[in-house]
Amino acid sequence: MSAQVQSKRISVPQIRARKGGEPIVCLTCYHAHTARLLDEHVDLMLVGDSLGMVIHGLETTLGVTMEMMILHGQAVMRGAKKALVVVDMPFGSYEESPQLAFKNAARILAETGCQAVKLEGGVAMAETVAYLTSRGIPVMGHIGLTPQRIQIFGGFKTQGRTEAEWPAIEADAKAIAEAGAFALTLEGMAEPLAAKITKEITIPTIGIGASPLCDGQILVMEDMLGLNPTPPKFVRQYAEMGADIEAAVKAYAADVRARTFPGKENVYPMKKAG
């Protein structure tokens, strides 16, 4: 990557400095062509392990591999020239030890060229976050509803709906911030708790199903474009591309069956002799 391209890209310190300022615009991204479309409008692209469900049809994110994350991370980096790109660490790639986390995080950065990794967990992962950041690997945290732990939660359940749950979640937020993360995703969290955490910690919070008072917001791109027929409650759909794609395919199929496609304008004539 050229020095010119590097100098134009939003940096980790720039995102961290947005605490309390202009909201940080984030979306997930998994492809080079959509990265090009997003690049002028977002501050941060997350190559999320949600790609297992969105792209590969898995029921959860638990089956996502390092190879999948690296492949999609490489694709996004080919299309993104301005936005900060963060790649999720998949389930099983960091929980065992800080040393294993470093090995896998370093591989992600080296093989994709991304600027940071994201991992899930609070107090239990603070040591790992500190280990990574002290060795030059920027980390974005993720607490609240953590999809890699849905077996413990018993499904995708909103966190912090009762005040009795708040102290543990607040402790998670503070531990990850103090460990050196540059930003923290708050997912599936009661709005008053997300707002409180945003005030309490010194790094930007990125909400998804959290609070409008978070320092930024993120959605799965396919959800906000209307490609998911059953999006979560927290999603606002800005397009109905699922219906548009189906209508386009239906029209194409009808033209093929009627032999009206390809037309004369879609085929190549013979060259005239001489």
Burial 95-109 (b: 16+ CB within 10 A, else e): beebeebbebbeebb
Rounded Cα distance between 96 and 188, Å, is: 25
DSSP three-state, residue 39: coil
C-alpha distances in angstroms, 28 versus 24, 85, 232, 256? 13, 10, 15, 35
Does 187 participate in catalysis according to the annotation? yes
> Contact 98/127 with Cβ under 8 angstroms?
yes
Confirm or deny that 43 is annotated as ligand binding.
no
Rg (CA), the chain: 21
Q: Given 187, 191, 240, 265, which residue is catalytic?
A: 187
Helix (H) or strand (E) holding 106: helix 98-112
Confirm or deny that 272 is annotated as ligand binding.
no
Helix (H) or strand (E) holding 53: helix 51-54
Kind of pairing, strands 84-88 and 216-219? Answer: unpaired
Confirm or deny that 264 is annotated as ligand binding.
no
Confirm or deny that 134 is annotated as ligand binding.
no
> Contact 228/217 with Cβ under 8 angstroms?
no
> How many CB atoms are located within 10 Å of the residue 181 CB?
29
> Contact 219/208 with Cβ under 8 angstroms?
yes
- Phi/psi for 191 (5° steps) reads -55, -45
> Contact 229/246 with Cβ under 8 angstroms?
no
Confirm or deny that 88 is annotated as ligand binding.
yes
Annotated binding-site positions for Mg(2+)? 49, 88, 120
Catalytic residue numbers read 187
Annotated binding-site positions? 49-50, 88, 118, 120
